A and B are shown apart, each in its own frame.
Chain A
Amino acid sequence: AQKVTQAQTEISVVEKEDVTLDCVYETRDTTYYLFWYKQPPSGELVFLIRRNSFDEQNEISGRYSWNFQKSTSSFNFTITASQVVDSAVYFCALSDPSAGKSTFGDGTTLTVKP
């Protein structure tokens, strides 16, 4: 069975601080995909990034970066120089092509204070 653990329920930082959101996953599949989604206070769910299990390259997109490590089954998300607009719930998700399902973590609520 697949499982995604986001151990940090809530994180609070002051604007301009760097913050890392942790995601640990469990799967028996060799081929799988990992995702991060953002849910701002308005409630919609916004896709941020996808990574497949064969691509361990880290990725940077502006102030966002992702560190995928198969050895530790982790897919962590770092926001550099956080801003108030980054305040949201962030979800990590895991899916595999054979099961046809996506498994979400419980989410991490990030609050960035001015």
Chain B
Amino acid sequence: NAGVTQTPKFQVLKTGQSMTLQCAQDMNHEYMSWYRQDPGMGLRLIHYSVGAGITDQGEVPNGYNVSRSTTEDFPLRLLSAAPSQTSVYFCASRPNYANTGELFFGEGSRLTVL
């Protein structure tokens, strides 16, 4: 099983450029989310979705957009990248929106904004 797949694994952007981090899961999980990991700051929730067509903001949503048109996909869009968005991004999913299960993480995407 592929689990949670993130692409790309590495990306370098210039300030002001836009890009989309892709996330796909093949486990039919209702819940999907995006986290960013910065040194010494743990994992911070950016956006999450409890099902197709439903998204909500997390702890640090500014500068990011998401959509959930299918159960499988949950892309994260940076409309105008800033150096403060340099980070490692993780997509995660779990089987239901009731928040009782563990998260299944992708391998991460390392983004550098110059």
Known: A45-B90, A101-B45, A102-B45. A50 touches B102 (CB 8 A): yes
Question: Once the chains are docked, how many angstroms separate the CA of A35 from the CA of B94?
Answer: 13
A99 to chain B, nearest CB (A): 7
The reply to whether A91 and B42 form a contact with Cβ atoms under 8 Å apart is yes
- Tell me which residues from 27 to 50 in chain B have a Cβ below 8 Å from any Cβ of chain A: 31, 33, 35, 40-45, 48, 50
Q: Name the A residues within 8 Å of B42 (CB-CB).
A: 6, 91, 104-107
The reply to whether A91 and B88 form a contact with Cβ atoms under 8 Å apart is no
Q: Name the A residues within 8 Å of B103 (CB-CB).
A: 35, 37, 45, 47, 102
Question: Once the chains are docked, how many angstroms separate the CA of A87 from the CA of B56?
Answer: 35
The reply to whether A106 and B99 form a contact with Cβ atoms under 8 Å apart is no
B: number of interface residues (CB 8 Å): 28
B70 to chain A, nearest CB (A): 19
Known: A45-B105, A101-B48. A106 touches B100 (CB 8 A): no
Question: Once the chains are docked, how many angstroms separate the CA of A44 from the CA of B91?
Answer: 11
The reply to whether B90 and A106 form a contact with Cβ atoms under 8 Å apart is no
The reply to whether A52 and B90 form a contact with Cβ atoms under 8 Å apart is no
**B107 touches A (CB below 8 Å):** yes
**A58 touches B (CB below 8 Å):** no
Known: A91-B43, A101-B45. A52 touches B100 (CB 8 A): yes
- Encode contact with B along A69-111: 1 for CB under 8 Å, 0 otherwise: 0000000000000000000000101011111111111110000
Instruction: Show 21 residue pairs from A and B whose CB-CB distance is below 8 angstroms, ordered by the A residue.
Output: A33-B99, A35-B102, A35-B103, A44-B105, A44-B108, A45-B90, A45-B103, A45-B105, A47-B103, A47-B104, A52-B100, A91-B43, A93-B43, A97-B100, A98-B99, A100-B50, A100-B56, A104-B44, A106-B41, A106-B42, A107-B42
- What 18 new A-B contacts, CB under 8 Å, besides A43-B88, A100-B31? A6-B42, A33-B100, A35-B102, A44-B105, A45-B103, A52-B100, A93-B43, A96-B99, A99-B99, A100-B50, A100-B99, A101-B48, A101-B59, A104-B43, A104-B44, A105-B42, A106-B40, A106-B41
